Amino acid sequence: MRSLVVSPTAQEPVCLKVRELLRANVDPQGPLAASFANVERVLLQAQPQVVVVVLSPQPDRGIEILRQLRRLSSGHVLAVGQATDSRLILRALQEGADHYLDEADLESGLEAVLSRWQDRSETTNGALGQVMGVLACAGGSGASTLSVNLAAAVARDFGACGLIDLKPGRGDLAPLLDLKPGFTLADACLNVGRLDRAMLEKMLARHASGVQLLGAPQMFADIRVVSPQGVDQALTMARRLFPQVLVDLEDCFHEEQLVAFRQAKDVLLVCRLDFTSLRNARRILDYLRDQGISRIHCVINRYGQPGELPKEEAEDALGAKVLHYVPDDPKTINLANNLGVPAVLKYPNSKVAQSIVQLARQLCERRKEKEQPPRILAAAAAIL
C-alpha cells in the first residue's frame, strides 16, 4: 500500500513513529512525506492508498488539511492526535478521517487499523472490477437503453453487474429497470468522506437480474451536489463490489464525467447512421484523443433505418472502425423500455437482444480469457 504522512514538521517524534510503523506494516518502500504547505501537490502526484495526518502540534491547521485532502483523496485517511481532546476527535471524524488514533498508543492502534484494511483488500483479491462507460454522441442515440441491456447481459454472465447513472437531472436507468432507488449518486457524493464499500452497498437498488443500480438524483436541487470526488469514490467502491461496472455517461467535458472516463477500461460511443450523429461522434473522438483518453469504441445503434448513411461512409466520417452494429427494432425496444424490463431479458430471442448480448460478450471476452473474475462479494451473491 502506498502511504503518505502529513505533518507540520517531519522531525516530530510522532511523525517518525508513524513512518516507522507504516514502513514495517504496509509500505516497505517507506511512506511519502508532505508538510501542511505542499500536501495538495504531493497527494495529487502520488495518489496514496493511506494518508496519515499528524495533528499535533497544530491541530486547527491539521483539521483544515484533513478537510482539504478528504475532497482530494479516495484513500484511507487517518488522524493522529491527543486522545484527551474529545472535541478535536469529533472534528477530525466530521471532516472525513476514517479513524482517529491516540498519539500515545500508536503502535497497537495503527497496526490494528492497518491489518483490518489489509484483510478487507485481500477479501476482494485486491482485484478491482472494470468500468465500461456508455456515451451517446447525441440525445436519443440509445445510450441508456444499451446501458441497462448490457448490464443485464453482463450480470447473466458474471453473476452481478454494477450500474451507475451518471446523468444527473435526466437519468432514466431506474425507470428502464422499473426500480425506485431509495438513495442516489447525490447521497454518495454527500457522504464522500465516509463512502466505503458497505455504505455504497446500502445505496444500491437491486434488480432481479443481478444488476445493482446507483441511480441519478431525481430532484433537480440535488444535481449540484454531484462532485468529481464523489463520483470517483463511488466508482472505486463499486469496482470493489463488482467484476464489471457500467456507467451511463452524460458528456465528455464535465469533470465528474471525466473521472469516470479515467477509470474506464472501455467507453462505448453510441451513434446512429445519420449526418449530425456522426459529426458529433467525430468531434467527441477527436476531443478525447486530445485529452489522452483512448479505448473508445464506436457502436452504431438503430442500424437498418430507411435512408440512413452507408456503413462505409460512417467509418470514413468517424476516422475509426465501428466495433458493433445494433439493429433498429422499435417494437421490441419500446415494449421492453415501457415495461421497465431490459429487452435482453424480456425478448431474449429478438435480433436486437441477441446483438446486445454479443456486444457485451465481445467486450468482456478478453478479460474473461486473461483473468479470473474477482470473487463476487457477499452482497452481490445474496441476490443470485
Ligand X SMILES: Nc1ncnc2c1ncn2[C@@H]1O[C@H](COP(=O)(O)OP(=O)(O)O)[C@@H](O)[C@H]1O
Q: Which residues bind Mg ion (CB under 5 A)?
A: 144
End-to-end CA distance of the chain: 33
- CB-nearer residue toward ligand X: 34 or 352: 352
Q: Contact between 334 and ligand X (CB under 6 A)? A: yes
Q: Answer with the entry of Mg ion, ligand X, none that 337 interacts with (C-beta below 5 to 8 A by kind).
A: ligand X
- CB-nearer residue toward ligand X: 15 or 174: 174
Nearest distance in Å: CB 290, ligand X: 24
- CB-nearer residue toward ligand X: 266 or 328: 328
- Kindly identify the residues of this chain, within the stretch 29-88, that bind ligand X according to CB under 6 A: none
Q: Answer with the entry of ligand X, Mg ion, none that 329 interacts with (C-beta below 5 to 8 A by kind).
A: ligand X
When CB distances to Mg ion are compared, the closest residue is 144
**Mask: binding to ligand X, 81-120, rule CB under 6 A, as x and -?**
----------------------------------------
Nearest distance in Å: CB 299, ligand X: 10
**Mask: binding to ligand X, 343-382, rule CB under 6 A, as x and -?**
---------x------------------------------
Which residue, 217, 270, 262, 253, is CA-closest to 235? Answer: 262
Q: Is 72 left (phi over 0), alpha (psi -120 to 50) or beta?
A: alpha
Beta pairing, strands 322-327 & 211-214: unpaired
Q: Answer with the entry of ligand X, Mg ion, none that 140 interacts with (C-beta below 5 to 8 A by kind).
A: ligand X
Grid coordinates of 226: 454531484
Burial of 105 (C-beta count, 10 Å sphere; 0-12/13-18/19+): exposed
Q: Is the previous residue joined to 57 through a cis bond, with omega within 30 degrees of 0?
A: yes
Q: Contact between 333 and ligand X (CB under 6 A)? A: yes
DSSP 9: -
Chain mean position to CA 98 = 20
- Kindly identify the residues of this chain, within the stretch 283-312, that bind ligand X according to CB under 6 A: 301-302
- CB-nearer residue toward ligand X: 36 or 347: 347
Q: Is 244 left (phi over 0), alpha (psi -120 to 50) or beta?
A: beta
Beta pairing, strands 211-214 & 161-166: parallel
- CB-nearer residue toward ligand X: 52 or 252: 252
Nearest distance in Å: CB 161, ligand X: 17
- CB-nearer residue toward ligand X: 142 or 230: 142
DSSP 135: E
Nearest distance in Å: CB 176, ligand X: 8
Grid coordinates of 34: 508532505
- CB-nearer residue toward ligand X: 91 or 272: 272
With H, G, I as helix, E, B as strand and everything else as coil, classify residue 271: strand
Beta bridge partners of 269: 135, 298
Q: Which residues touch 75 (CB under 8 Å, ≥6 apart)?
A: 47, 48, 49, 50, 51
- CB-nearer residue toward ligand X: 1 or 322: 322
Q: Contact between 326 and ligand X (CB under 6 A)? A: yes
Which residue, 215, 219, 151, is CA-closest to 179? Answer: 215
361 touches 355 (CB < 8 A): no
Nearest distance in Å: CB 18, ligand X: 48
Binding site residues, ligand X, CB under 6 A: 136, 139-145, 301-302, 326, 328-330, 333-334, 337, 352
